[in-house]
């Protein structure tokens, strides 16, 4: 018996593409795998801040023009803790729960006003990424990926200038460091073996769907460049407008794919497997594998003694090898308005467009072949509203709400990124501990609409369809943010 690694399985292992789904934060807090919580002041406003940037340096990300017009230095450091929960409910069988641990998503900014008009800054933030961790028992999605992460860390030097009392502009180049890791199980039922002159699927040999025989691990890293631009216009003392554009960034990844044999799991006793279809007149359907005539090929009993995994690992396409792939982090356009409704009350509203339509398909180049995975994402839209109420110079209360559409179409909702339409609510506060030290804190609750999806991949090279959907994903999250800022 000669075992052959099936291209369909490798198409699934090629999750570098599908992993445009993943990072060290939990499933993204905005559309697709976008993350928008890069400062606790802005987070408490539900991210509605482009027309009235916070005074903590986070304008480097939210609107680079917002750092102009202030002398002196600002240093801001903070993190967002993301605690996610989710569930897969199949049409038949047991439900499976997401097993993500709480994750810290950091942010940091440094700004310096050289004079009343010119300012420079530096920011570190993570606008794209997520992570998903699912059980390996009773969850068929483990064959797409059970422990996965992707991160895209942006470093942005920035310059801004106040053209007039009303108009400021700013921008900076972004240097992006991307890293990805995918872990998945391999299913022996999707492999083929050589019996005599024929290649026979293991499903014909009685292997049930969901028979783990190996682990696949894919990891890689890469870099890319982009830019972030902003404009701020103060129409009156009470009314301001802002626009910000974050460009698309292409990242070329280099990495490795490694395969490790494991004991056959989640399958009926292989010694009791019988043929699902006739191999020959002497081996009709129902024939015990151990009784296959010698002239047909090596019996399954003999294969089992050598170990099923050993028939595949290190041969064919399941050989440890290098990989290459290219992913694009989408462009974003945000426009907003801020209105000082009363001396103590500031109202804000933002609209966000994200160019997820650039994420249509992913090609991963293995040493032995090229895999194409279709994602078919569409552009998304988000609406954010927020408010600040200043009880005093030392204490500000904030709140907000947002809603946004899903990027993934119905046919590409998988355990890697089971995202959907979301509604979120936020609350937070800012405290001036001293004249020079400011602390902001925020809480955000995320609720996603239930989403029909799948746990198995389409055939290699085939366009996915909703016919593969076999259950429902649910998801919610609790986010906690804190940012400490020093003014000099």
Higher per-residue confidence, 82 vs 483: 483
- Measured CA to CA, the distance from residue 381 to residue 346 in angstroms comes to 24
484's tokens: 């400490």
- Measured CA to CA, the distance from residue 74 to residue 437 in angstroms comes to 10
49's tokens: 């801040």
The distance between the two most distant Cα atoms of the chain, rounded to a whole number of Å, is: 91
Residues 373, 377, 383: CA angle, nearest 5 degrees: 155
Please report the pLDDT score of residue 290 as a whole number.
Answer: 66
Over 60: is that where the pLDDT of 19 sits?
no
- Mean pLDDT calculated for residue range 29-45: 79
pLDDT band at 228 (very low <50, low <70, confident <90, very high): very high
pLDDT band at 206 (very low <50, low <70, confident <90, very high): confident
- Mean pLDDT calculated for residue range 156-169: 96
Please report the pLDDT score of residue 7 as a whole number.
Answer: 38
The structural domains of the chain, with segments of one domain joined by +, span 2-487
For residues 148 and 182, is the Cβ–Cβ distance under 8 A?
yes
Over 90: is that where the pLDDT of 182 sits?
no
For residues 455 and 61, is the Cβ–Cβ distance under 8 A?
no
- Measured CA to CA, the distance from residue 269 to residue 237 in angstroms comes to 77
Please report the pLDDT score of residue 205 as a whole number.
Answer: 76
Neighbours of 247 (CB within 10 A): 16
- Measured CA to CA, the distance from residue 140 to residue 146 in angstroms comes to 10
pLDDT band at 20 (very low <50, low <70, confident <90, very high): very low
For residues 355 and 248, is the Cβ–Cβ distance under 8 A?
yes
pLDDT band at 24 (very low <50, low <70, confident <90, very high): very low
- Outline where DSSP puts E strands in 101-190: 103-113, 118-133, 147-162, 167-187
For residues 463 and 62, is the Cβ–Cβ distance under 8 A?
no
Over 70: is that where the pLDDT of 304 sits?
no
What is the Cα Rg of the chain in Å? 26
- Mean pLDDT calculated for residue range 45-49: 96
Question: 438 — phi, psi (to 5°)?
Answer: -130, 135
- Measured CA to CA, the distance from residue 241 to residue 335 in angstroms comes to 8
Taking alpha carbons only, the member of 146, 154, 153 closest to residue 218 is 146
| Measured torsion, CA atoms of residues 16, 19, 23, 28, in degrees rounded to the nearest 10 | 160
Over 70: is that where the pLDDT of 368 sits?
yes
- Measured CA to CA, the distance from residue 474 to residue 98 in angstroms comes to 10
Collapse the DSSP code of 230 into the 3-class scheme (helix H, G, I; strand E, B; otherwise coil) and give the result.
Answer: strand
Please report the pLDDT score of residue 26 as a whole number.
Answer: 38
C-alpha separations of 182 from 19, 377, 401, 450 in Å: 7, 20, 33, 25
- Mean pLDDT calculated for residue range 362-381: 83
Please report the pLDDT score of residue 479 as a whole number.
Answer: 94
What secondary structure letter does DSSP report for 207? P
pLDDT band at 240 (very low <50, low <70, confident <90, very high): very high
446's tokens: 């995320």
- Measured CA to CA, the distance from residue 28 to residue 38 in angstroms comes to 13
- Mean pLDDT calculated for residue range 155-162: 97
Please report how many Cα atoms fall inside a 13 Å half-sphere around the Cα of residue 215, on the Cβ side: 9
Over 70: is that where the pLDDT of 22 sits?
no
352's tokens: 């966000």
As a residue count, the chain comes to 488
C-alpha of 480 from chain center: 19
pLDDT band at 144 (very low <50, low <70, confident <90, very high): confident
Over 60: is that where the pLDDT of 10 sits?
no
- Measured CA to CA, the distance from residue 48 to residue 25 in angstroms comes to 21
Over 90: is that where the pLDDT of 486 sits?
yes
Fold for the domain defined by 2-487 = Porin (2.40.160)
- Helix (H) or strand (E) holding 44, with range, is helix 40-44
């Amino acid at each position: 018996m000669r075992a052959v690694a099936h291209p369909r399985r490798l198409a699934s292992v090629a999750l570098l593409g599908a992993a445009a789904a993943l990072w060290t934060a939990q499933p993204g807090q905005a559309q697709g795998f976008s993350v928008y919580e890069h400062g606790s002041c802005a987070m408490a406003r539900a991210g509605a801040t482009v027309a009235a940037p916070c005074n903590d340096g986070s304008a480097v990300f939210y609107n680079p023009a917002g750092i102009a017009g202030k002398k002196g230095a600002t240093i801001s450091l903070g993190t967002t803790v993301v605690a996610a929960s989710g569930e897969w409910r199949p049409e038949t069988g047991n439900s499976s729960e997401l097993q993500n641990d709480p994750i810290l998503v950091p942010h940091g900014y440094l700004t310096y006003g050289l004079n009343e008009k010119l300012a420079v800054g530096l920011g570190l933030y993570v606008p794209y990424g997520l992570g998903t961790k699912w059980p390996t028992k009773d969850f068929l999605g483990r064959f797409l990926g059970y422990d996965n992460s992707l991160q895209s860390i942006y470093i942005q030097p920035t310059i801004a200038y106040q053209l007039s009392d009303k108009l400021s502009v700013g921008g900076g180049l972004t240097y992006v460091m991307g890293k990805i890791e995918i872990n998945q199980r391999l299913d022996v039922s999707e492999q083929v073996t050589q019996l005599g002159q024929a290649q026979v699927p293991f499903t014909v040999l009685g292997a049930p769907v969901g028979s783990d025989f190996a682990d696949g691990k894919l990891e890689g890293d890469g870099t890319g460049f982009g830019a972030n631009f902003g404009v701020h216009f103060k129409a009156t003392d009470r009314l301001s407008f802002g626009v910000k554009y974050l460009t698309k960034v292409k990242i070329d990844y280099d990495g490795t794919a490694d395969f490790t044999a494991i004991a056959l799991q989640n399958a009926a006793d292989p010694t009791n497997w019988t043929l699902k279809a006739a191999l020959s007149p002497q081996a009709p359907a129902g024939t015990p594998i151990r009784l296959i005539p010698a002239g047909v090929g090596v019996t399954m009993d003999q294969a089992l003694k050598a170990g099923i995994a050993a028939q595949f690992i290190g041969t064919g396409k399941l050989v440890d090898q290098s990989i290459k792939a290219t992913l694009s982090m989408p462009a974003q356009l945000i426009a907003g308005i801020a209105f000082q409704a009363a001396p103590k009350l500031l109202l804000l509203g933002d609209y966000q467009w994200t160019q997820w339509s650039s994420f249509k398909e992913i090609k991963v180049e293995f040493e032995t072949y090229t895999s194409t995975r279709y994602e078919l994402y569409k552009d998304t839209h988000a609406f954010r509203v927020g408010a600040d109420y200043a009880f005093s110079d030392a204490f500000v209360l904030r709140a907000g709400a947002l809603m946004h559409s899903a990027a993934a179409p119905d046919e590409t909702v998988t355990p890697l990124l089971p995202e959907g339409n979301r509604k979120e609510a936020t609350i937070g506060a800012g405290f001036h501990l001293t004249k020079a030290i400011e602390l902001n804190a925020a809480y955000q609750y995320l609720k996603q609409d239930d989403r029909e999806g799948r746990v198995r991949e389409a055939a290699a090279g085939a366009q996915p369809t909703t016919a593969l959907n076999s259950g429902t994903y649910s998801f919610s999250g609790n986010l906690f943010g804190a940012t400490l800022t020093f003014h000099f």
